[in-house]
Structure 1
C-alpha cells in the first residue's frame, strides 16, 4: 500500500512540473519593426499630398483672381468706350440742331449684340470666332434716356421757397396716379428742410441722390414706386420736353388738358414731332397753358445706360450726361444692374450728383 501511494504522488502534483521554454530567434541589431516603417511611409505620402493640394489650390486661386481682375479692367474700358460713343451721338445730334424727339438716333436702344460683330460693322477688323480673345464672348447693349421727359423735383423748391406753378403740376400728377395729397405735402416740407440753413437744434435731412431714395424724406415705398417712371431729380430746374414726356407727365405738366388730350398729343407727335411750342399750342387750342419757362421741345440732361456681358460676368453702368451746345459732359457714373426700358420716356430714376 505504501508503494502504490508513492507511485501516484507525482501525478497529484502537476504544478510541480516544469514547462518547456521556447527559444526566441535573436533579432539583428538595428532592425525596425515593419509596422513602424509602413506608418512612416503613409505619413510621408499624406504630407506630400497635402502640400501638393495646397500648392494647387493657391495656383488656382491666383489664376481666378487674375482672370477676374483682367475681366474687370476689360469691362471698365469697354464701358468707358460705350459712354464716349453715347456722348458722340448726342454731340452729333446737337450739331444737326432742331428739337429732341423719340425718332432720333440717340433714342434708339442698342439691343444685345456681339461686340466683335459690332466693331466689324463699323469698318474694323473683327477677330474670327475661334480666336482666343475675350471679345468673341463679349455682348454689349445700351440706351440713352431723356431725363427731361418727366417732372423735375428740383422745380418744387427754389431758394427756400415753394414754386406754386411746379406745385400745381405735382398736384395734378399725384391726383392722376391716385396718390394721397398728404404725401405731396410731406415731400414739399422735406425738400424745404433740405435747403434750410444748418441748425444745431434740428437735423437737416439730406437730399436723396435719386428718386429711388425718396423714402429718406418719409415717403411710403408704394408712393416712391408709383412716382419713379414720371419724376426725376436733377441738379437744376428744367422744363418738360413735350416731345418725349409720356401722357401722364403731359397731363400734369400742361394746365387745362385732360388724359384724352394728352393721349392725342402723344399720337400726334408719333407721326411728326413738334418743332416748337407754337405747334403744341395750335394742337391743343386756347384751353391749354403752354409756357416757355415750363415746357420745351429740346433737352439738356440725358442718361446713358449700358450693359456688358463678358462670359459669365455682367456689368451695368449708367451715367448722367449734360449737354450745352455741342459739348457733352459726364456729371457722374455708377455701376450696378440697370436694365433697358421699353422706350426713352420710361423709368429712369436719376439723380443728383
Structure 2
C-alpha cells in the first residue's frame, strides 16, 4: 500500500515538473516572439523614417527650383539630379527616384470632351497598335464619369492594354500641358502629330539639355496646344531598408502658389513593406488635393 502511494506521489511530481518545464518554454518562446516583433517594428519605423526623409529631399529640391528656375523644368536641374542610387548608411540603405507626371499625355484632359485631346489619344492608340475601340472606351468613360485616379477605374481596359498605355499616359489632378523637356520622343510625336519634328526636337534636347520656344519655332511648330516647358506634378518613389525589412513609399507631389506663397505639397502617399517575415505597414489615408 505504501509503495502504491509513493508511486502516485512520484507521478504527481513528474507531472508538476513537466507542466513547469512547459510553462518555462512557453514563457521563453513568447518572450522571443515579442522581442522579434519589437525588433521588426523598430526596423520598420526606421525604414519608414528614411523613406520619408528621401521624399522630403525631393520636396525641398522642387521648392527651391520654383525660386531659382521657374521658367523651365528639365532633367539636368537639381530636382532631377536629387534622385539617388542606393546609398548605404550605418542604419540601413535608401534610394529615391523622381519622374515628371507631365512627361506623359494626361488622359483626364479628355473629360472636357475637347476634340484636340481626342485626336491626340487616337494618334497614341495608333502608335501603340491598340484596337480603335480602346480610344472610344477611354473617351466614353471620362466624358460620362469624369477624371480618374487609376487606369483600373476604366473597366473596359484589360490588364495588357493598361500596361501598354502606362508609360505614355498620366492621370493628373489638375489640367497641365505635356512638358517637352521631359517627355519621350513617342509622346512628343503624338502631341505634335509629327514624328520627324519630335525626332529633331529630341536631338536638340540631347545636345542642349532642354528646349525653348525658339527651338519649337525652328522646327516649324507654331501652335503649342497642350505643349509646355514646365511641370507642377511629380511622382517620387523612395525605398529604404533596415535590418532586412524594406519599405517602399510612393508619393505624388504638387507644386503651386497660394496667396503669393510657393509650396510643394504631398497630395498622395502610400507605403508598402516586404522582407523576411515582414508585417505589412498600415498605410495612411491619401492626401486630397
Say whether the fold is shared (TM-score over 0.5).
yes
8 A contact 1:152–1:232 mirrored in 2:
yes
Partner of residue 298, structure 1: 230
RMSD: 2.3
Residue 103 of structure 1: which of 76, 88, 98 is its match?
A: 76
8 A contact 1:319–1:332 mirrored in 2:
yes
Change (3 A) 1:236 1:251: same
Q: What is the distance in 1 between the residues matched to 2:95 and 2:126?
A: 36
Equivalent in the alignment of 2:13: 41
The residue aligned with 1:147 is 101
Supply the distance in 1 between the matched residues of 2:214 and 2:114 (Cα, whole angstroms): 25
CA distance in 2, matches of 1:281, 1:169: 20
**Which residue is equivalent to 2:198?**
262
| 2:166 is equivalent to residue 228 of structure 1 | yes
Counterpart of 1:113? 87
Number of residue-to-residue matches in the alignment: 271
Q: Deviations over 1:61-101 (max 9, x none)?
A: 22123223222322332222222211111112222113111
Alpha-carbon distance in 1 for matches of 2:201, 2:17? 82
Determine which structure has the larger helix proportion and give its number: 2
Q: Is the 8 A contact 1:114 1:140 kept in 2?
A: yes
Q: Report which of the two has the higher share of strand.
A: 2
Contact 1:187 1:217 in 2 (8 A): no
What is the CA-CA distance between 1:275 and the residue it aligns to? 4.7
The answer to whether structure 1 residue 68 and structure 2 residue 20 are counterparts is no
**Correspondence 1:309 to 2:241:** yes
Segments ≥4 residues shifted beyond 6 Å: none
Does the C-alpha gap of structure 1 residues 75 and 301 become closer, same or farther in structure 2, counting only changes over 3 Å? same
What secondary structure, in the 3-state scheme, does the structure 2 residue paired with 1:336 have?
A: strand
Q: Which has the larger radius of gyration?
A: 1
1:157–1:188 contact (8 Å) kept in structure 2: yes
What TM-score do you get using the length of structure 2 for normalisation? 0.86
**Alpha-carbon shift at residue 337 of structure 1 (Å):** 7.2
In structure 1, how many angstroms separate the alpha carbons of the residues matched to 2:20 and 2:215? 84
Is 2:184 the counterpart of 1:210?
A: no
Q: CA deviation at 1:38?
A: 3.8
- Structure 1 pair 352–300 and aligned structure 2 pair: CA distance change class (3 A): same
Contact kept? 1:152, 1:238, Cα under 8 Å: yes
2:272 to 336, 340, 345: 336
**Counterparts in 2 of 1:151-162, with a 5 A limit?**
151-158=105-112, 162=113
Structure 1, unaligned runs of 5 or more:
1-26, 116-135, 196-206, 339-350
2:280 maps to: none
